[in-house]
A and B are shown apart, each in its own frame.
Chain A
Amino acid sequence: MIPETLRENPLAAAFEDIATAARFEFGELTIEVAPENILTALGRLKRDLKFERLSTVTGVDRFPAEPRFEVVYHLQAIAKKQRIRIKARLSGERPEIESATGIYRAADWYERETFDLFGIIFLNHPELRRIMMPDDWEGYPLRKDYPITGTRY
């Protein structure tokens, strides 16, 4: 569902079939898709729309809203000088989404970081384990219900 005002935007229009929401604010385009369609969206961006570079993958915890988590992908088309943001919303009890490492190798460590700090599972990731926190840490620090002082000591 691309809103009327964005139908002329060729980049937004390319996602007509899978976008659940689209916004253009502060000169930046954001497309929201269902988690099942994330590989379609990213694949389309890499092959057809020439977005060579995945800038970052990160998460947002919208507690207590449901769906609780958002996974945010920032991509850059260097030759065309364009940037785009793709979002997918995941539920709180089972935050799972397909890993983008098959399309962009850069996603590897970013997804590990998002898993480490939010607990979002990236299916079929080559090695999904904690990246910054110690391997035996319990809990996901950037969640809103995780205390600022931590859980140890």
Chain B
Amino acid sequence: MTTELDVQRAHEQHEKQPGIRTMVLNMGPQHPSTHGVLRLLLELDGETILKAAPDIGYLHTGIEKEFEVKTYQQGVTLTDRIDYLAPLSNNLVYCLAAEKLLGLEIPPLAQWTRVMLSEFTRLNSHLVWLGTHAIDIGAMSVFLYCFREREEILRVFEMFSGQRMMTSYFRIGGLALPHPRGWQKRVKDFVDIFSSRVDEYEELLTNNRIWTGRTKGVGFISLEDMLDLGVTGPMLRAAGLAIDIRKDAPYSSYEKFDFTVPTGTGNDVFTRYQLRVEEMRQSLRIIKQALEGMPSGSHQADAPGIVLPDREK
């Protein structure tokens, strides 16, 4: 991996060659484009980056150490903060692991709610991606439109769990609280408008000359390199490898939902953009199915000693 020493050495090499002058720039931990703290040492030739050495650790909050002094149920609140753009997904991963170890049977209502809210979380995360990517390139309106939709999603989260972001709504054994009254209406209102909003984003970006100029052909990594480096997710799918853990090893009743996993072959930023936009549409499809087919029943498993029963019992 490139380190600060590599950047410095390369810079000195270039400076010695006639006619080539490069610059070493510290893109410091705080920077509008780093979206959170990331320090990059860049060797630049004009606007082209020749070498980039990342220096990480500014977001390390000691979550793993904190887990050591919590009980398993308390640990759920820590998981929200791991990827703060997708808090419910982190809750889900943790709860699934604990439930697998305990051998708990989760009731269908809880499983379908988990799927629905996880897909909302995916939309949440993708909207932030699209908005911030667009604003970094200069399309400021897209940022505001994405965050307008995200506002609706956060209101859905608030309705279910009382919290907009760090929901901790999934617990070991099911959900923290039963469904709020009237949730179907709020979800339906969102579902009705969202598809046209995604069309709006595509209209603004997909055939936009500036967008395609900045994203087509940019960011190529070969498939073998990606696998060797441990890359996963949309980047692999944009290179043609059709893998998605929701299809390959379905969890939490994902097998009951009908959706496709978009793949592409372009293997550049533009393909990854198209892929993620299509993923947003597929997530909407899953949410619609969850809304229409939500089963009834208990929101948590019946496992005295592990899951707190309702007060009425």
Interface residues of A (CB under 8 A from B): 26, 52-56, 78, 81, 104-106, 108-109, 117, 126-127, 130-134, 141-142, 144, 146, 148
CB distance from B248 to the nearest CB of A (A): 6
CB distance from B213 to the nearest CB of A (A): 31
Give bound CA distance, A96 to B241, whole Å. 36
Digitize B61-78: 1 where CB-to-A-CB distance is under 8 Å, 0 elsewhere: 010111011000000000
Interface residue range, chain B? 20 to 34
Chain A facing B: main interface SS: loop
Q: Does B20 sit at the interface, judged by CB under 8 A?
A: no
CB distance from A85 to the nearest CB of B (A): 13
- Count, A-B residue pairs, CB within 8 A: 48
B248 close to A105 (CB less than 8 A): no
A106 close to B229 (CB less than 8 A): yes
B1 close to A127 (CB less than 8 A): yes
B243 close to A142 (CB less than 8 A): no
Question: Looking across the interface, which residue of chain A has its beta carbon closest to that of B241?
Answer: A78
Q: Does B227 sit at the interface, judged by CB under 8 A?
A: yes
CB distance from B237 to the nearest CB of A (A): 12
B228 close to A105 (CB less than 8 A): yes
Digitize B212-243: 1 where CB-to-A-CB distance is under 8 Å, 0 elsewhere: 00000000000000011110100000000101
B69 close to A53 (CB less than 8 A): no
Give bound CA distance, A146 to B62, whole Å. 12
Q: Does B101 sit at the interface, judged by CB under 8 A?
A: yes
Q: Does B249 sit at the interface, judged by CB under 8 A?
A: yes
A148 close to B68 (CB less than 8 A): yes
CB distance from B299 to the nearest CB of A (A): 25
The B147-184 residues at the A interface (CB cut-off 8 A) are: none
A53 close to B65 (CB less than 8 A): no
Q: Does B60 sit at the interface, judged by CB under 8 A?
A: yes
